[in-house]
Amino acid sequence: MIAAALDNSKDQNDAASTSSWYEASARQRVENLLDANSFNEFIGPELRETSPHLPLFDLPEQFDDGMIVGYGRLGGKPVLIAAQEGRFMGGAFGEIHGAKLTGLLRAARDIASLPVLILFDTGGVRLQEANAGELAIAEIIRALIETRLAGVPVVGLVGGRSGCYGGGGLIAGCCSALAVSEQGRIGVSGPEVIETNRGVEEFDSKDRALVWRTMGGKHRRLIGGAEVFADDTVASFRDAASYLIEHAPSMNLSTLESEQFRLAQRIERFGTCADALDIWRSLGAAEPQSIPALSYREFVALANDLQEPRHDAR
């Protein structure tokens, strides 16, 4: 049982680690999450491995294509790490962006001893690279599953401004475990996509409270879509990452059967609920409408009372 025992409220003195995860750039997150000066980047920006597609659309490139991959140390232990820059094209997956993550995961599979951290911050596939981006998602998922089958934990951290949507949401769902902050959102179709396709009566993307209680970190934690609820600080995500690497479940047939059982139970239990508030009420929350306003500590205490994520699953 993962989240119940986690206390990531330790005092951190350095300003960098208590700074906001949401506000930080991908490079700042990597730098502040890992042990000081331990990060070594693969295929750095100086190599200029940029998208072959963006110039066709007369769009500006970024030297790292919005994906940073490399290795470093977390609490003294070596890890492989990937981070998406959510401000560059919404952190979207393109050909190069995806290939860097696929390569990192394949290396992790072959080495079979270094855990992988993925710092998600993405709206999904980059529209300008549609098919190449979709292929990248498929390759990443295959590489991720092979990595997990090799006994390597792959832990996702979600707390950036672009959330974790589209193919990114699918990849996150394949991870060994996830940590999410209140600001983080996890889903496949984002609010605007749902509204565009099904109308404002189905889902009002301008209703921020609705968006957050449907896709936000608190809801994902309560229904077992993420194992750990993190505070919006680098320090909190660091503790969550260390904890989840240690406690990530292995992947085998019985894990998949448990996950299938867990998801079937979830539909049975909540399938008729019209809103997240109904789900929280049926989970046993006395005042579900107060949950969005709860502080980090209050929410963690409540979530641990209401529901323990099941770690025989995933």
Partner 1 sequence: METLNYRNKASQRAKGSKLQVIVGVVASGNLEVLAERVLPDSECEVDIRTAAEGFGEVWQAVVADFVEHRSPGGLKFSINDGGARPDTVALRLAQAVSAIEGERT
* CA 76 to mean position of chain CA atoms: 23
Q: Does 63 bind partner 1 (CB under 8 A)?
A: yes
> Could you give the CA distance from residue 28 to residue 38 in angstroms, rounded to a whole number?
13
Shortest CB 27 distance to partner 1, Å = 7
Is 95 near partner 1 (CB under 8 A)?
Answer: no
Q: Determine the Cα–Cα distance for residues 283 and 303; give it in Å rounded to an integer.
A: 10
Measure the CA–CA gap between 174 and 176, rounded to whole angstroms: 7
Which span sits near partner 1 by CB under 8 A: 6-14, 39-47, 75-83, 223-231?
A: 39-47
Q: Are 140 and 105 in contact (CB under 8 A)?
A: yes
Choose, by CB under 8 A, the member of 12, 25, 189, 258 that binds partner 1.
Answer: 25
Residue 146 is inside which H or E element, if any?
helix 130-149
Using CB under 8 A, which of the segments 51-59, 70-78, 274-282, 302-310 binds partner 1? 51-59
Binding to partner 1 by residue 45, rule CB under 8 A? yes
Task: Determine if 58 is a binding residue for partner 1 (CB under 8 A).
Answer: yes
CB 126 within 8 A of CB 93: yes
Among 21, 39, 71, 88, binds partner 1 (CB under 8 A): 88
Nearest-angstrom CA–CA distance, 86 and 84: 6
Find the binder of partner 1 among 11, 37, 60, 209 (CB under 8 A).
60
Can you tell me which of 59, 112, 149, 200 binds partner 1, judged by CB under 8 A? Answer: 59
Residues 140 and 82 sit within 8 Å (Cβ to Cβ): no
Q: Which residues bind partner 1 (CB under 8 A)?
A: 25, 27, 44-46, 48, 55, 58-64, 85, 87-88
